[in-house]
Amino acid sequence: GESVGLHLPTLSVQEGDNSIINCAYSNSASDYFIWYKQESGKGPQFIIDIRSNMDKRQGQRVTVLLNKTVKHLSLQIAATQPGDSAVYFCAEINDYKLSFGAGTTVTVRA
Amino acid sequence: ETGVTQTPRHLVMGMTNKKSLKCEQHLGHNAMYWYKQSAKKPLELMFVYNFKEQTENNSVPSRFSPECPNSSHLFLHLHTLQPEDSALYLCASSQQLNTGELFFGEGSRLTVL
């Protein structure tokens, strides 16, 4: 079964609002997590990663939060734009292999 | 442009056909991957190559046969496929193994009739 999983399969967001996409993982030994974005007709694209020695990491308009206590991570997108409409995947590295969870489809409303 | 090019983008084949998917990366990476993406399912890792050597075969049926002639090229040879093999096949590369930053191609959409 999946080692990482998303909480909600879909998310609808008003343009300009912040988006929060959640993901849970089951293996407490997991120490490296990654978020990917997949736009329609394209392959997944790396967004940001975080290792277990951190609980927060920021990129351009994105923040990843890691809560090791409850084995949960989230991706926050600030000021969501139409170009953020995509499927978002959380993933983890286990034994050098990248394993993906099911995605969350984010739709941005104008 | 991700630096990873896959051809063909679309392929329709019968169950008795033999076809191949091609992937080329222009990034100077050492590791290459095949993933399968089916509707309603997470991406499934199929094969991993590192410096042209296969390091992972994720229990993939033998009707899928990978080939990695050099670090820049990866093929997936298809033979006697089943309709349930219809999916998007994604190639990716990375600088090394054990990294979360993979660079994916746009995929080859395969339909098996």
Structure tokens at A71: 């084995």
Residue A18 in this model has a pLDDT that exceeds 80:
yes
Q: Which residues of A touch B1 (CB under 8 A)?
A: none
For tokens 């496929």, what's the residue? Answer: B81
Instruction: Kindly report the backbone phi and psi dihedral angles of residue B57, in degrees, each rounded to the nearest multiple of 5, phi listed first.
Output: -130, 105
Virtual torsion, Cα A36, A105, A9, B11, nearest 10 deg: -80
Mean pLDDT, range A56-70, rounded to an integer: 96
The predicted pLDDT at position A6 comes to 64
Residue B96 in this model has a pLDDT that exceeds 50:
yes
Q: Share the mean pLDDT of chain A.
A: 92
- For residue B9, give how far its alpha carbon lies from the nearest alpha carbon of chain A (Å): 10
Q: Which residues of A touch B104 (CB under 8 A)?
A: 43-45
- For residue A109, give how far its alpha carbon lies from the nearest alpha carbon of chain B (Å): 23
